[in-house]
Amino acid sequence: MPASRLSRFEAFSLFAFRYFRFQTSLISFPILVSSQLLNNSTPQPLMTSLTEHLWFEIPNRRGFINITPTIEELVRKSGVSEGLCLVNAMHITASVFINDDESGLHHDYEQWLEKLAPHAPTSAYQHNRTGEDNADAHLKRQIMGREVVVAITKGKLDFGPWEQIFYGEFDGRRKKRVLVKIIGE
Amino acid sequence: MPASRLSRFEAFSLFAFRYFRFQTSLISFPILVSSQLLNNSTPQPLMTSLTEHLWFEIPNRRGFINITPTIEELVRKSGVSEGLCLVNAMHITASVFINDDESGLHHDYEQWLEKLAPHAPTSAYQHNRTGEDNADAHLKRQIMGREVVVAITKGKLDFGPWEQIFYGEFDGRRKKRVLVKIIGE
Amino acid sequence: MPASRLSRFEAFSLFAFRYFRFQTSLISFPILVSSQLLNNSTPQPLMTSLTEHLWFEIPNRRGFINITPTIEELVRKSGVSEGLCLVNAMHITASVFINDDESGLHHDYEQWLEKLAPHAPTSAYQHNRTGEDNADAHLKRQIMGREVVVAITKGKLDFGPWEQIFYGEFDGRRKKRVLVKIIGE
């Protein structure tokens, strides 16, 4: 291997390192493998991960927001072709779940959760003695779930025909976050 | 490194590429690392993923099917030794969950879910105004969950003594899919 | 590349292999990439996984245990900087979930789950005809969930302000296990 070729690899290496360092939330690990073995001179990234935090401030106590387009955009940004995408609420009175984007169904969820874990009387919950009035929100979130894990196949969320990702708020009127973590190659 | 050795690597490289290309659902990334450093000439696969879609058509509205043997077979097929296996319903009126393969318990689940989210009267749900009669199925699925993530250790599902994976149908009599995604090495 | 340099790599390779072989539950794959290409002589581990089983024996039928410090310690031990951490109950009458470490809330969960899936009368459940009295525990566990998947970012669990991981027991007074699987780099 002549010295001039090595130098070109070193230059690329440095470029790749600098490029990815300035993508603050995109942590990439472009491990370069010998072009002699792979029989071409394109460097091969082996594993990539992307971490993003989405912010929400729902004006009411409860609400559902379809966050699918945002997650799709992050999958594109990650460059991951085959992998897993974790989306989870970072707050314990909120949910991330997958279901139908149909307003009648969301109304049904709202009524059903209120029947299974009613907000009032707030004094019925020991948790509310701490000064909170959101004990019911901690219960509702267990029914709807904290997180979803979605497969990424050929660079896209591997979804069935009606699957949509929702942020479910049960104690809003304050800022809250959702974490998106993508790993794969 | 003599030129003749390089040629053998190139030949293997090409073989591996072609072999994996023809395994339609098995996407493998046998990144080869310098034999000089690993001090042997065997190429090292670094990360592998497998994607499969399973089809179901349950003749009744509701039913539970033990899919553990199928998932075990896919883990073997993937060749993954250490990793994660995601199994999720691709339809929003169905579940994938882990529990006991005991018919009495399945009867109890059926009765319990019907009590928590009754099918009738169907007019009690706004979702059913769309022409569907399956609003209860969307609710039942949230209790039982959309997905499971199972560890793969030493090439096998890392299960406790009674853990079995089930497909749970709450609005059957039509074709539905389950996604299996395995990643690891 | 002089022969003396190769020998140092071989020595490290051997050391790494032996070191990791004796860490029974820490399976690491320190694939070494050419120092010529990365322009430094430090070997690069590409993907790491850690598998641990935690044991519990709760003296009562039901109980919640905060296992967050243990999981944090395992994340440190794994050396994973970016990845996913799966924590799941290996028994089907127990849960792993994320919520608040507040005793009033735990009391509320206990009362709520007992209302949604009462233990008695045990004869109300077909599952209990097998000689068990724990059918309610199989139901409660579906509400609270089997597992959580938590992102690892910069070597730490990527948690919101109040997120804590709990083991939830619904049929205790016997030995049970929780599985922790960490994958990433």
3-state SS, one letter per residue, for chain B:
CCHHHHHHHHHHHHHHHHHHHCCCCEEEECCCCCHHHHCCCCCCCCEEEEEEEEEECCCCCCEEEECHHHHHHHHHHHCCCCEEEEEEECCCCEEEEEECCCHHHHHHHHHHHHHHCCCCCHHHCHHHHHCCCCHHHHHHHHHHCCEEEEEEECCEECCCCCCEEEEEECCCCCCEEEEEEEEEC
State the nearest Cα–Cα gap between C118 and chain A, in angstroms: 14
State residue B8's pLDDT score.
53
Chain A, chain B: beta-carbon pairs less than 8 Å apart: 123
pLDDT category of residue A8 using cuts at 50, 70 and 90: low
State the nearest Cα–Cα gap between A181 and chain C, in angstroms: 6
Distance set, CA A122 to CA A91, A138, A160, A173 (Å)? 20, 13, 39, 18
Q: A135-144 vs C135-144: helix axis angle to the nearest 10? A: 100
- Which chains have 3 or more CB–CB distances shorter than 8 Å to chain A? B, C
* DSSP for residue A126: G
Chain A, chain C: beta-carbon pairs less than 8 Å apart: 119
Q: How many CB atoms lie within 10 A of CB B109?
A: 25
What are C64's strand-pairing partners?
Answer: C168
Tokens standing for residue B99: 């529990």
- Residues of chain B positioned with their CB less than 8 A from the CB of A86: none
State residue B47's pLDDT score.
83
Note whether C157 and C85 are within 8 A (CB).
yes
State the nearest Cα–Cα gap between A54 and chain C, in angstroms: 12
Chain A CA closest to residue B25? A153
Q: Do A126 and C143 touch (CB under 8 A)?
A: no
User: For residues A4 and C124, what is the distance between their CA atoms, to the nearest angstrom?
Assistant: 80
User: For residues B147 and C106, what is the distance between their CA atoms, to the nearest angstrom?
Assistant: 25
Tokens standing for residue B35: 């034999």
Distance set, CA C64 to CA A143, A169, C99, C107, C167 (Å)? 18, 25, 11, 10, 6
Run of H or E including C2: none
| Chain B contact for A163 (CB, 8 A cutoff) | yes
| Chain A contact for C102 (CB, 8 A cutoff) | yes
| Chain A contact for C11 (CB, 8 A cutoff) | no
Mean pLDDT of the region C169-185? 97
State residue C8's pLDDT score.
53
Residue C13: CA atoms inside 13 Å, Cβ hemisphere, count? 17
φ/ψ of residue A164, rounded to 5: -135, 145
> Is B68 buried (19+), middle (13-18) or exposed (0-12) by CB count in 10 A?
middle
Q: Show Cβ contacts of residue B57 under 8 Å, excluding neighbours closer than 6 positions.
A: B172, B173, B174, B175, B176
Rg, Å, chain B Cα set: 22
Amino acid identity, residue B95?
S
| Chain C contact for B142 (CB, 8 A cutoff) | no
Query: Best interface-test mutation with C: which of B81, B100, B148 has the largest number of C CBs within 10 A?
Result: B100
Amino acid identity, residue B159?
F
CA of residue B3 relative to chain centroid, distance: 44
- C97-148 pLDDT, tens digit each: 999 999 999 999 999 999 999 999 999 999 999 999 999 999 999 999 999 9
| Chain A contact for B49 (CB, 8 A cutoff) | yes
State the nearest Cα–Cα gap between A47 and chain B, in angstroms: 8
% of chain A exceeding 90 in pLDDT: 75
Q: Do B138 and A99 touch (CB under 8 A)?
A: yes
Mean model confidence pLDDT for chain A: 83
pLDDT (tens, 9 = 90+) of chain B, 185 residues, equals 344 444 454 444 434 333 333 332 333 232 223 323 333 333 444 789 999 999 999 999 999 999 999 999 999 999 999 999 999 999 999 999 999 999 999 999 999 999 999 999 999 999 999 999 999 999 999 999 999 999 999 999 999 999 999 999 999 999 999 999 999 99
Chain B CA closest to residue C5? B37
| Chain A contact for C185 (CB, 8 A cutoff) | yes
- Residues of chain C positioned with their CB less than 8 A from the CB of A143: 143
| Chain B contact for A145 (CB, 8 A cutoff) | yes
| Chain A contact for C92 (CB, 8 A cutoff) | no
- B63-93 pLDDT, tens digit each: 999 999 999 999 999 999 999 999 999 999 9
Report whether pLDDT(A23) > 70. Answer: no
| Chain B contact for C183 (CB, 8 A cutoff) | yes
Q: Do B146 and A148 touch (CB under 8 A)?
A: yes
Distance set, CA C16 to CA A48, A83, C29, C71, C112 (Å)? 24, 28, 9, 25, 51
The C-alpha torsion from A115 through A116 and A121 to A125, rounded to 10°, is -170
- C2-55 pLDDT, tens digit each: 444 444 544 444 343 333 333 323 332 323 233 233 333 334 447 899 999 999
Chain A CA closest to residue B2? A1
Cis peptide before C121 (omega within 30 of 0): yes
Q: Do B139 and A99 touch (CB under 8 A)?
A: no
Q: Show Cβ contacts of residue C116 under 8 Å, excluding neighbours closer than 6 positions.
A: A116, B116, C139, C140, C143
| Chain C contact for A65 (CB, 8 A cutoff) | no
| Chain A contact for B118 (CB, 8 A cutoff) | no
Q: Do B135 and A100 touch (CB under 8 A)?
A: no
Report whether pLDDT(C1) > 70. Answer: no
- pTM of the full predicted structure? 0.79
Closest partner residue to C92 (CB to CB) among B33, B99, B104 is: B99
Query: Best interface-test mutation with C: which of B147, B149, B156, B181 has the largest number of C CBs within 10 A?
Result: B149
Q: Do C88 and B151 touch (CB under 8 A)?
A: yes
